[in-house]
Structure 1
Amino acid sequence: MLSLAALLLTLAPAAHAQGGRRGGQRLAQLENAKIAFITNRVALTQDQAQKFWPLYNEFSDRRRELNRNGRLLRRDVTDGMTDQQIRENFNQSFALRQQELNLEKEYFEKFQKVISLRQVAQLFMAERDFTREVIKRVAGAPGQPGLDND
């Protein structure tokens, strides 16, 4: 676990700062660190991991697409929009958030078919913890704007 944390500490700032092909390599390394982090936290057996990771990847892809669509909607709000257009934009955003919740509920059930309920709970906690750690490391990277630098 300690070596995983060390890997995370070195990869997160580099993944944020790098561009191009090298940045893609860093992001792949960060994804590998996430896989190791979750595998360790959830204590997946080899048999569980073989069944779990394809399902988790499917879940992640679908969730990533919903999040991308939500970001595009938020970016679309402009001064030139009518109140009705802004209202519709919000309604679409709410619908996407509901779809994300429905997706989590769907995969909550699917995950329980390959890992225990306790492991599912550990999975969702591990995802949050990993994301927090990455954000903390990226925000604290030298040369990166942080909350204290405003």
Structure 2
Amino acid sequence: MKLLNVFIALLFFSSLSTFAQNEMKEKREQIKSMKVAFLTNELDLNSSEAEKFWPIYNSFEEKEFELKHLKMRSFIKRYREGKDKITEKEAGFLLNQMETNEEEFYLLRKKFILNLKGILPASKIIKLKKSEEDFNRKLLLQYRNRGQRKE
């Protein structure tokens, strides 16, 4: 009987985990859709530019997400797990990995801009950077305002 209760509890918690992951994925997709609409409007891309721009941008965003979120989360997790016990050698190794990650991000961004130069005029590339920052600011304000309404 105890085994059945444990099995039911495990099934319940695994379904909650799956639900939470699906919900996060849906939120990311919703944000991505909002961002596409925002950038399309801000950059005023013609059809030829848009056709070439979006595949490059989407590829860049996937790689950027991997570098910024997945790798940095693993660094932070490893630090938190052993922050009180971390040796100087381990901290040095972790720091080197973080620096390598930052270099990878810089090179990724540089390659992205180089690819865009063949598609968009320089003024639109500059406008893209500003529009991304504006979108992130707008999104942050929306979430901040949503949190204040719940209180």
Q: TM-score, normalised by structure 2?
A: 0.76
Q: How does 1:1-150 map to 2 (within 5 A)?
A: 19=20, 21=22, 24-67=25-68, 68-77=70-79, 78=82, 79-142=84-147
Q: Distance in 2 between matches of 1:128 and 1:122?
A: 10
Per-residue deviation, residues 23-62 of structure 1 (Å, max 9, x unmatched):
5444322211100111111111111111100000111111
Amino acid at match of 2:144: A
Q: Which runs of 5 or more structure 1 residues have no equivalent in the other structure? A: 1-17
The superposition leaves residues 112-132 of structure 1 with CA deviations (integer Å, 9 ceiling, x where unpaired) of 111111111111111111111
| Count of aligned pairs | 129
Say which structure, 1 or 2, has more relative contact order (CA 8 Å, 6+ apart): 2
Identity of aligned residues (%): 22
- Which structure's CA Rg is the greater one? 2
Aligned mates of 1:20, 1:106 — CA distance in 2: 31
DSSP-derived class of the 1:140 partner: helix
Which residue is equivalent to 1:7?
Answer: none
1:93–1:128 CA distance, 2 compared to 1 (3 A): same
Shift of 1:20: 5.8
Per-residue deviation at 1:143? Answer: 5.7
Give the superposed CA RMSD.
2.3
SS of match in other structure, 2:38: helix
Flag the structure with higher helix content.
Answer: 2
